[in-house]
Chains A and B, each alone.
Chain A
Amino acid sequence: MPGDDHLHNHDHSDVPSDLALRVKALESLLVEKGLVDPEALNVLIDTYETKVGPRNGAKVVARAWSDPAYKARLLSKGGKAIAELGFTGRQGEDMIVVENTDTTHNMVVCTLCSCYPWPVLGLPPVWYKAAPYRSRAVRDPRGVLADFGVTLPDSVEVRVWDSTAELRYLVLPQRPPGTDGMSENELAALVTRDSMIGTGLAKTPSTKGST
């Protein structure tokens, strides 16, 4: 393609400092004009870097595994049921929860950019925003799952959901075997970020310690 030379041979060594300068220039102008407050920027960064993340989604999943009535609400009105646990906000105005079963595996992508349910998963991982995942998830989902080390039997149907700016998806992974009688906290520890995107499965208790 036309961009090949640029893509592979471009010398990136001078890029970060130039970018950093461009960003500093923009921020200093915006602050000077009173359009943004630098303290508000720090709060936003702290919130999305350290506070809002997939532990929120794990609590939602653990509740659904433990409480059939909650699960029913979650699958019928995702955003509303998620808000019951206090998780609301930007990029999660409308959320649909899709359930994995013995016969159906769901996987979420945003082919156009990076739409993602921020209130329950935080900001998306790098691969979610990058071309390989966005291009191939809709065409070769089983191949993509293999990149994540996940192999599903042919009898399991794979459904891929392409997010939009208005509608974001959360996967409800299958509850792993051997978890009877576990508390919601113990269950939540088994729920990985990738299991809620559909590129992974929930951990089983014996693999709890691995990453």
Chain B
Amino acid sequence: MNGAHDLGGMDGFGPVDPDPDQPVFHAEWERRVFAMTVASGFLGRWNIDMSRHARERMDPVEYLSTSYYEHWLHGLETLLVEQGLITSDELAARKAKLSAEAR
């Protein structure tokens, strides 16, 4: 399936920034998303192709305007919800709860 992820040959994205000092992770949340994605893979409920497809189904404008680990987060949430392991309502409620606690 093509889509916004299918970038090969597209013009207009500008030069590559080969900055050798960029860290592997830029924030703690990126570390957690990476690890949760790998760990959840061991649940055996999806394979790598399903995992990629879950990211590639992102809204194309959102895909191009969000960072790499946001793609992973979107993909992981999508898979977990589609597999019935969590619900969107649970996620929203937990986020609201944590947000209230943080105030």
Q: Which A136-166 residues have a C-beta within 8 angstroms of B? A: 136-139, 144, 147-148, 162, 165
Partner of B73, one of A10, A19, A165: A19
Chain A residues with CB under 8 Å of chain B are: 1-3, 6-7, 10, 16, 19-30, 33, 35-37, 40-42, 44-45, 48-49, 90, 109, 111-114, 122-123, 125-127, 129-139, 144, 147-148, 162, 165, 194, 199, 211
Q: Are the C-beta atoms of A139 and B9 separated by less than 8 Å?
A: yes
Q: DSSP class of A's interface residues: helix, strand, loop or mixed?
A: helix
Residues of B within 8 A of A (CB-CB), count: 57
Contact A132 B27, CB 8 Å, known A2-B61, A7-B64, A27-B36: no
Query: Of residues B8, B22, B25, B98, which shows the largest number of chain A Cβ atoms within 10 Å of its Cβ?
Result: B8
Q: Are the C-beta atoms of B18 and A113 separated by less than 8 Å?
A: no
Partner of A114, one of B11, B61, B68: B68
Partner of A148, one of B18, B61, B80: B18
- A sample of 10 inter-chain contacts (CB < 8 A) reads A10-B65, A20-B27, A24-B98, A27-B36, A112-B5, A112-B8, A113-B52, A127-B17, A135-B11, A194-B20
